[in-house]
Chain A
Amino acid sequence: MKYSIVSLARNALSGHAGWSAAWRSPEPRPAYDVVIVGGGGHGLATAYYLAKEHGITNVAVLEKGWLGGGNTGRNTTIIRSNYLLEPNAHFYEFSVKLWEGLSAELNYNVMFSQRGVLNLAHTPAEIEAFQRRGNAMRLNGIDAVLMSRDEIARAVPLLDCSDRARYPIVGGLLQPRGGTARHDAVAWGYARAADARGVDIIENCEVTGIRREGGYVLGVETTRGPIAAKKIGICVAGHSGVLAAMAGLRLPIESHVLQAMVSEPLKPVLDTVVTSGAIHFYVSQSDKGELVMGGDLDGFNSYAQRGGLRIVEHVVEACLMLFPSFSRLRLLRTWGGIMDMTMDGSPIIAKLPLEGLFLNGGWCYGGFKATPGSGWVFAHTIAHDQPHPLNADFTLERFAEGRLIDDKGAGATPWAQ
């Protein structure tokens, strides 16, 4: 059923009893051409583009829980392409362009809101780094605006831009086309569109093993029985190490917990995304009115999807340094998600050294914004057995070859990325 003003009106007149399920819930078949492990945004987008761009529809997406119940539902929904290095800049900008047409493409409102992403600078050295990154972005065709303190004070009136601030703001770098989207809708929209093209979406089906023989994959073992597959795409960021271990591989990845939190809802007060790398904080206001906030990793290996209160305290302190007027808000809820932290801070979207096995992972903090672009290039990689130029640099071998893509330059300590 196509969603439109006509379908809305027709269903409103019939008491909304006529809406059909957005996707089927089929029993898994014994074999598929492609099995995608992980029913988050990336896995569902991959399945959608496999069907749409490459005509490969004999595809199953296996999800151990419910769709979008992992990191797709735990991230803070920020979308941007404000990267310094070329592979990241081109890839994430491609993704932003897909976001710009995504609601129409999927016939599903993903509530993409280009409200801008503003990085704050607190020192002259940061301004210089922002000038460099902003220039690099503009040379790569990405929008970037360097802002003075006065311009920021006018654009974000609640921000403490005074000299009294603990870490005074001296300027910032804005990407006006950055913004936010509704994360659940992204999973549901891709699921519905993939299902309409014949993809089987199978929930409550956990992969427990990868069957292989002589350097080839044969399929997967699951909690709902074995499923044969010619090709397997892993889209389980956070748990990539666990899946790779099933195939006998080690990855240049550690899993770490990243927390996020929301305040109680309030009337519109903040119409852009504000981040400060120096004080480890970012905030935006959701359409429900909650302030969505986050900071840094807890800093030790974890698969627990929860972290310590010291990080919550740090995030709230940073929030009040920048926005003193938020001091009487109550925190509504906090949670944690598990990040695939790679050794250079950039993702891996590539063939693995086992024929038929592909990895889409290593997203560090930034997987959500990549969802459309990631699915698009991963589908290409699976369909053609080789990467698209947009993800040709995001290989597994780059670490051994010394071709790191380290936008932050932090070195091989994932908890410092």
Chain B
Amino acid sequence: MLLISCPWCGAREETEFAYGGDATLKRPDPARADDAQWYGYVYLRANPKGPHDELWYHAAGCRRWLRVTRDTASHAILDTAPVDTSRGKPDSP
């Protein structure tokens, strides 16, 4: 079970959160992007064994998005940070 430090609420159990996937993805500009860029954004992942930047949503808490750096080989949480959601949900397919 993960214990995730929410920047607003403090350390909370994993069950309060919903996973949002890879946080390094950048949504292409719909006016300019070609098929290859969309393919990369929607489907391709670095999928690292080690530190992974990922999005979590504090669904049963403050209902804000956070960016978590977590080691996928050990499950150790290395860092958590707020995500700027002033323009809506962060980029994630």
Q: What is A's interface to B at a CB cutoff of 8 Å? A: 239, 241-242, 245, 250-255, 299-304, 308-310, 343, 399-400, 412-413, 415
Contacts and interface: CB of A to CB of B under 8 A. Distances in A.
Contacts of B72: 255, 301-304
B90 interface: no
A209 to B, nearest CB: 15
A253 B49 CA distance: 13
B93 interface: yes
B74 interface: yes
A280 B19 CA distance: 18
A398 B39 CA distance: 11
B31 interface: no
Contacts of B42: 343, 399, 412
A412 B49 contact: no
Interface string B20-36: 01100000000000011
Contact of B93 (A241, A304, A413): A413
Interface string B41-56: 0111111110010100
Contacts of A412: 42-43, 93
Nearest to B76: A304
Interface residues of B, number: 27
B15 to A, nearest CB: 6
Contacts of B35: 400
B89 interface: no
Given A303-B49, A304-B74, A415-B19, A252 B43 contact: yes
A186 B74 CA distance: 30
Contact of B21 (A242, A303, A399, A413): A413
Given A304-B74, A308-B1, A400 B36 contact: yes
Given A251-B45, A399-B42, 15 more contacts: A250-B47, A251-B44, A251-B47, A253-B45, A255-B49, A301-B52, A303-B72, A304-B74, A343-B43, A399-B39, A400-B39, A412-B42, A412-B43, A413-B21, A415-B19
Contact of B47 (A255, A299, A309): A255
A253 B48 CA distance: 11
B45 to A, nearest CB: 5
A250 B14 contact: no
B73 interface: yes
Given A304-B75, A308-B14, A415 B49 contact: no
Contacts of B1: 308-310
B24 to A, nearest CB: 12
B43 A239 contact: no
Nearest to B44: A250
